[in-house]
Amino acid sequence: MPKDFLKGAADSCDVVVIGSGLGGLTAANILARDGLSVLLCEQHYKLGGLATWFKRPGGHIFDISLHGFPYGMVKSCRRYWSQEIADSIVQLHGVRFDNPMFSLTTTFDREDFTRLLTTDFGLELATVNNFFDAARSMNFYDDQTKTTRELFDEYFPGREDVIRLLMEPITYANGSTLEDPALTYGIVFSNFMSKGVFVFQGGTDKLIKSMEKEMKANGVDVRINCDVEKVNVNAKGIKSVVVNGRTIETKAVVSNSNLRATIFSLVGEDKFDKDFIDEAKAVRLNNSSTQVYMAMAPEDTVPRDTGDLLFSSTAERFQTELLLSRDITSRTFSFYYPDTRPAGKARTLIVSSTNANYADWVGMTKEEYETSKHDLVETTFDALEKYVPNCRERIVHAEAATPVTFEHYTKHVDGASFGTKFEGLTVSRSLPEQIPGLYHAGSCGIIMSGWLGTINYGVIVANDVINQLTDTSATSPIATT
């Protein structure tokens, strides 16, 4: 008989959270802390969603999405998780850019960017200050028609080099493009510029284990290998979910699954108004990614000044399409030095990440797919050679992940790394108006993606659920920092 992963679970609860990405985990924690009975179902055998890691023989532990987040994580983790989690957040000091237009190292904060823009890039201090102030003052309720390119053209006309410095990391951080609304850029960029780039010391495994402990202490019933197949609704709203063939009654559902999957697969389009479905169909998915994971021999390492995060590109100019192309010219290398996991084995790991299109990787034969992955690893070695000489001989383990890998492990439609484009946020927020008790808390809309964005979105949605279940009608405003 297959193992019953729901053994001992109650037949009914206040809230079912579908998925254990950072948004789902945070929502579950807040809901349980507020005294609600919460069942968290994760289809994978591990919690964390895209905030995940894997181990390989030789003591190597690879992090998938631990490359950098803004300082706001400290406050969010302290408030919504624990002081202990917040205390493990540390700054990355070596953010490097290397491309045909410029090579530099920065702490990636306003002060250092102002220095670079006024010296190396020769801009007027007043222009730089005005740009920073404009970006910082943007909020969700602003004009959403101005694009990021228009914002740049207003302050830095004709300065492709400046645009590259300002945009390349954000495109990498959340898949946004020059054609997206300027406010999505302004909010995310300003979040980073407040103090720089931060990571979680101890690795994603330590973070997720600490979160699991905290959730369980607060009473969440946490279940892995539990695939929610269906969300049942009736005229009044949410009725139950079907998970691993079992029906569990619930008053509310927080879906951390992909927005499109939530609407079209878990609930079903016949349960929504036609206009809403038209709007939902028009929501664009964000792009996916490829990654190459590389481990140095245990006794080997790279000099610290190689950087922590290196935005490298061989493209003469910055173009969003090039960042997605199969013909890779831009790679972001994350260097994990032994102090990433001070309590673990001393290892140096390198992860190369590149934005990618799902369509370029799906539908291949097994052989073509393996060959393409092999090419990806080989071309990554070629690119890394400039920063880690003789890397082919020094790397003892290398493997690749593609959009198909991300889809496989998270069920994200088309392997989307950052959920949906900006328009997904409105659709996500209006779910409870369509079906009382149905909520979505997961990557969407650029500002609500990434580690900080999804944690904050989980909090917002948990508060909405609490308001609903305690019969107050107020809904939370969109918080963006």
Ligand X SMILES: Cc1cc2nc3c(=O)[nH]c(=O)nc-3n(C[C@H](O)[C@H](O)[C@H](O)COP(=O)(O)OP(=O)(O)OC[C@H]3O[C@@H](n4cnc5c(N)ncnc54)[C@H](O)[C@@H]3O)c2cc1C
Task: Name residues contacting ligand X, limited to 225-284 (CB under 6 A).
Answer: 227-228, 256-257
Tell me the residue number closest to ligand X, measured at CB: 21
Smallest Cα–Cα separation from 337: which of 92, 53, 57, 50?
92
Structure tokens at 291: 């990654």
24: contact with ligand X by CB under 6 A:
yes
404 binds ligand X (CB under 6 A): no
Among 78, 136, 394, 411, binds ligand X (CB under 6 A): 411
Region binding ligand X by CB under 6 A among candidate stretches 61-69, 315-323, 389-397, 430-438:
61-69
Part in contact with ligand X (CB under 6 A); list of ranges 17-25, 114-122, 310-318, 463-471: 17-25
| The binder of ligand X chosen from 9, 30, 36, 43 (CB under 6 A) | 43
From the list 172, 192, 191, 170, the residue with the least C-alpha distance to 181 is 170
- Using CB under 6 A, which residues numbered 337 to 366 contact ligand X? 353
The residue (of 109 and 120) whose beta carbon lies closer to ligand X is 109
Strand 309-313 to 330-336 pairing: antiparallel
406 scored as a contact of ligand X (CB under 6 A): yes
Exactly one of 155, 361, 418, 439 binds ligand X (CB under 6 A); that residue is: 418
Please enumerate in sequence order all residues whose Cβ is within 8 A of that of 422, keeping only pairs 6 or more positions apart, or say none.
Answer: 144, 180, 181, 184, 445, 446, 447
C-beta separation of 452 from 283 below 8 A: no
DSSP type of residue 330: E
Applying CB under 6 A, does 332 fall inside the site for ligand X? no
Query: Taking CB under 6 A as the rule, does residue 451 contact ligand X?
Result: yes
In the stretch 132-171, what mask flags binding to ligand X with x, by CB under 6 A? Answer: ----------------------------------------
Using alpha carbons only, give the angle 409, 411, 414 rounded to the nearest 5 degrees: 105
As a whole number of Å, the end-to-end CA separation of the chain is 48
CA distances (Å), 271 to each of 24, 82, 237, 430, 436, in order? Answer: 23, 39, 10, 14, 12
Q: Which of 29, 244, 286, 291 binds ligand X (CB under 6 A)?
A: 291
Contact stretch for ligand X (CB under 6 A) within 4-12, 28-36, 82-90, 406-414: 406-414
Tell me which residue of 469, 437, 475, 480 sits closest to 32, measured CA to CA: 469
Of the residues 320, 417, 463, 480, which one makes contact with ligand X according to CB under 6 A = 417
396 half-sphere exposure, CB direction, 13 A CA radius: 15
Residue 170 to residues 186, 194, 465: CA-CA distances in angstroms? 10, 14, 31
Cβ-based nearer residue to ligand X, 49 or 203: 49
Does 68 bind ligand X (CB under 6 A)? Our answer is yes
The yes or no reply on residue 403 touching ligand X (CB under 6 A) is no
- H or E stretch including 232? strand 228-234
The residue ranges that bind ligand X (CB under 6 A) are 18-24, 41-44, 49-51, 64-65, 67-69, 227-228, 256-257, 289, 291, 353, 406, 410-412, 417-419, 442-443, 449-452, 454
